[in-house]
Amino acid sequence: MTRDPEAPILLADYDPAWPAAFESERERLAELLGNWLRGSIEHIGSTAVPGLVARPTIDVAAAVASAEAADACVAPLAKRGWEHRGQYGDDPQRRYFVLDRQGPQGTERVAELHLWILPAPGWNRHLAFRDLLRADPALREAYAAEKLRLVVEVAGDRAKYSEGKAPFIERALTRAPARGERP
């Protein structure tokens, strides 16, 4: 299934059902990927931050120890409806999967899985940014304002939307305490 690439970027108010939706996906993924996982399966992205506006798509992060393990995950995920989109951007340590379902409005993106091959700086950065947003209401409000501004500015261009958020995220991460590899 594919979504319309011209579809607008829709942000929704925080939905308290998002953690339960993540937990449901986490359980299914743990069953599918258990043999390859290195550490926990994490809820990332804006749906993981209470009170934050978000695209209503559950972002999931999981980690494996090798490229071979990442490759081995593709077939079991595909059998459960996850579409492998390959390497995420220019990050060779990150694989990207999407889960779309038919809904009342047509094809809807339900979840996105970011599968990291550890060690991977992106893994730690995503967890650190999520944790900062959860802990700091002022940062969360500023990020929400930035996201709302960008949605208007980029007029549906998802790549520009992601790129536009990067400077805000970088500034926020300079405040994050240093962490070791967190599986």
Beta-strand runs (E) in the chain: 42-44, 58-64, 82-88, 91-103, 106-117
- Domain residue spans in the chain? 18-173
Task: Give me the residue label for tokens 């998802």.
Answer: 158
Residues 162, 157, 47, 20, CA torsion sign: negative
pLDDT tens digits for the chain (183 residues)? Answer: 444 555 789 999 999 999 999 999 999 999 999 999 998 999 999 999 999 999 999 999 999 999 999 999 999 999 999 999 998 878 889 999 999 998 887 889 999 999 999 999 889 999 999 999 999 999 999 999 999 999 999 988 888 999 999 999 999 999 766 555 454
To the question of domain 18-173 being in CATH 3.30.460.10, the answer is yes
